[in-house]
Amino acid sequence: MSQQTATAVAETVQRVWGFDTLRPLQSEAIDAALANRDALVVLPTGAGKSLCYQVPPLVADELTVVVSPLIALMKDQVDGLVLNGYPSWGGAAAVHSGCSPAELERAKQMAEDRSLRLLFVAPERLLSTRFESLLSGMPVARFAIDEAHCISHWGHDFRPEYRQLATLRDRYPKASIQAFTATATPRVQEDIVRQLSLRDPAIHVGTFDRPNLVYRVLPRIARDQQIAEILSRHKDEGAIVYCISRKDTEAIAEALRSCDIDARAYHAGLDHNKRRKVQESFINERTDVIVATVAFGMGIDRSNVRCIIHAALPKSVEAYQQETGRAGRDGLEAECVLLHASSDAARWRRLYEMSAAESESGPEVIQAQLALLEEMRAFANGAACRHKALSEHFGQAYENPDCQACDVCLNELDIREDSTDIARKILSCIARLRLHSGLDFGAAHVADVLRGSRAKKILDHRHDQVSTHAILRDHSRDSVMSYINQLIDRGVLERSRGEYPVLILNEASRRVLKGEQTVDIVEPKDTRAPAKTSGELPLSDDEHQLFEALRSLRREIAQQMGVPPYVVFGDVSLREMAAIRPASPERFATIRGVGAQKLESFADAFLERIRSESASLGLKLDSTPAPVVTIRPRPAKKMNPQKALAFERFGEGDSIEQVAEATARATSTIAGYLIEWIERESPKSIDPWVDPQTYQRIADAIRDEDQGRLRPIFDRLDGEVPYEQIRAAIVHLRSQSACTK
């Protein structure tokens, strides 16, 4: 980018959006667009993708067509651009099924008088004759494909209509194409480039880690109570609870309302008007808690969502990353909690099979979906830093040894000391029920037997007479169900498929019963409020009261203008106003997010509210804020005795099995400890755990495959090398590489 162009970009960004600087990779993406070069831009939610395609049309005075499946977001983006003053230098419009005749006529008029600079369009309308007619007199300089992962079978949200975009290259040969997405593994990135026929594209992949998000992954024990407790930490703040089914959304919303939490359900079964009202109520901050299926949030640009809860396992790590990414888009701290049970994966599998039967999808589609689901299960059941696991899933190293922002690093998960004893009681009960009745039974029935129920079904089968009846009477039913789910997730118990799944013992079950294998059962500790991990201006109690007054003013102005509150100002701007308390338009103009148009439109109203509220609270104007807090220091975590012993034994070269026996921990847990030990100690050799020949095979496979993605390497090795050995070798290779730099 030439100095002249860089200056024009900087002036435009300051004038329209009120930003002094661009975020990482925004400049590179804008440069590629201005050079009319094809590009793939992968930036996480909240990293500012939209600016990458909104700035070039103003600087180059050319038309950019933005392809997006998110109709609600199109309207909000156009409204926001108008509010920023975009039409003063070039018009923005949208064309989709929700447009009014007046909006369509406006877009047509701007195209005819060649003032149109940014046009949003849904993919199904893009290639229509009517659309081509609209642009017949105005050349398209570039296409920006938003949510580009939708074009790939390997993406988490594949949409058949996106495949039509492959014809853009032939129909508009002179236009460049820039593809944008928040979630794409290396495999999906390659597929996007291939499907869109991108020519020598510039590839810009941002950092996937979101340090301002606190991740927690917990066994689902008492769903409604757990969700209510989490939401109690976010009173009067935006929150989304994601569910698998419509029925779940209704049930959870009703349960929350009974706890005096104003929650609204959202799903495809509601009529269009009701869905629109619920969505608008959330966007406009009249409702703070939405309980929804995963469709909700696509196109929701509310920047101050402070909590995302998954009431069940998401369908993929990519979906989880995108859905949790809707929290804290403004960069301020937010909490993301996943509640899961082993039955969740079975529910997704049934939905995939039903969908495939109805749509006649090819087997490759459902196999891709199941592979993504299995990766999600592995993430949920892992015991490694959540930020690290997510970063490495997307092919990026995570060097921070302690993120200070997940349940693992905050040491919030307890392993029950009697885990293996509980596991044996459950497995023994299942075995005895089969011996007694010659039948297998479901998890609910087994849990009732273990707790000593005398329900009719139990008495009819005479299961009150088996020796394991009431053996776990001191544990709640929810806890026992959680134990059973965890045993399934750890592979020492299986659940049959079908309409009425039953519990089945396997070889691992028998090893546990014989005392040859241990098992870990996790229980959450009492969680604390989410850590403040992102940079923000700390506010005193009085300043926070001023912040709330400014939020109220923002809502009033937004309601008068018919736009979402975040379009007026984001929370970051309001926090800065509350901390600095500008007394003049000149000082107000220095607030982040205050551009020329917003200074003219809103300065008087906000300065007056700041003056009046500050006077009543005894706060001085034109304050110098306290230093920005980047990370709240925490005391160093104390390593638990079992892990410390394991690290000591690894140093002596003991095998995983030997260490598991010495520590009374499951081999899966010890395998995780080994990875941590290798990362920490960087030993010259890992021969005791991966023999030299296997190590070399793994190293060769990594050179030919996508490093960090285990499944391709596993397949290349013909499934002969366990995942634990592959993971250990990868970590060791990285540690050796780092040591030589």
Please write the tens of the pLDDT for every residue from 103-128: 788 888 888 888 889 999 988 888 77
Kindly report the CATH number assigned to the domain that includes residue 115.
3.40.50.300
Looking at the structure, tell me whether residues 610 and 652 fall in a common domain.
Answer: no
Residue 8 forms part of a structural domain: yes
Provide the number of structural domains found in the chain. Answer: 5
Kindly report the CATH number assigned to the domain that includes residue 471.
1.10.10.10
Residue 635 forms part of a structural domain: no
Residue 630 forms part of a structural domain: no
Looking at the structure, tell me whether residues 112 and 155 fall in a common domain.
Answer: yes
Handedness of CA 507, 513, 514, 518 (dihedral sign): positive
Q: Give the domain-ending residue among 154, 186, 205.
A: 205
| Spatial separation of the C-alpha atoms in residues 608 and 616, rounded to whole Å | 13
Looking at the structure, tell me whether residues 171 and 272 fall in a common domain.
Answer: no
| Spatial separation of the C-alpha atoms in residues 319 and 372, rounded to whole Å | 9
Q: Could you tell me how far CA 514 lies from the centroid of its own chain?
A: 41
Backbone angles phi, psi at 20, to 5 degrees: -80, -30
Residue 627 forms part of a structural domain: no
Looking at the structure, tell me whether residues 305 and 424 fall in a common domain.
Answer: no
Looking at the structure, tell me whether residues 397 and 307 fall in a common domain.
Answer: yes
Reading the block at residue 424, the tokens are 């044996």
Tell me, what's the pLDDT at 530? 46
514 by Cβ neighbours in 10 Å (0-12 / 13-18 / 19+) ranks as exposed
Residue 120 forms part of a structural domain: yes
Looking at the structure, tell me whether residues 43 and 105 fall in a common domain.
Answer: yes
Q: Give the domain-ending residue among 519, 553, 570.
A: 519
Looking at the structure, tell me whether residues 241 and 164 fall in a common domain.
Answer: no
Kindly report the CATH number assigned to the domain that includes residue 585.
1.10.150.80
Looking at the structure, tell me whether residues 582 and 718 fall in a common domain.
Answer: no
Q: Which residues of 537-557 are buried (b: 16+ CB within 10 A; e: fewer)?
A: bebeeebebbbebbbebbbeb
Task: Tell me the residue range of the domain where 58 lies.
Answer: 3-205
Looking at the structure, tell me whether residues 702 and 558 fall in a common domain.
Answer: no
Residue 712 forms part of a structural domain: yes
Looking at the structure, tell me whether residues 322 and 338 fall in a common domain.
Answer: yes
Tell me, what's the pLDDT at 610? 96
Looking at the structure, tell me whether residues 195 and 286 fall in a common domain.
Answer: no
Tell me, what's the pLDDT at 627? 47
In this prediction, the residues of the chain whose per-residue pLDDT falls under 50 are 88-89, 527-535, 626-637, 705-708, 740-741
Residue 622 forms part of a structural domain: no
Give pLDDT tens digits for 588-630: 998 988 888 899 999 999 999 999 999 999 999 998 764 443 4
Residue 631 forms part of a structural domain: no
Q: Give the domain-ending residue among 157, 180, 205.
A: 205
Amino acid at 683: P
Looking at the structure, tell me whether residues 258 and 371 fall in a common domain.
Answer: yes
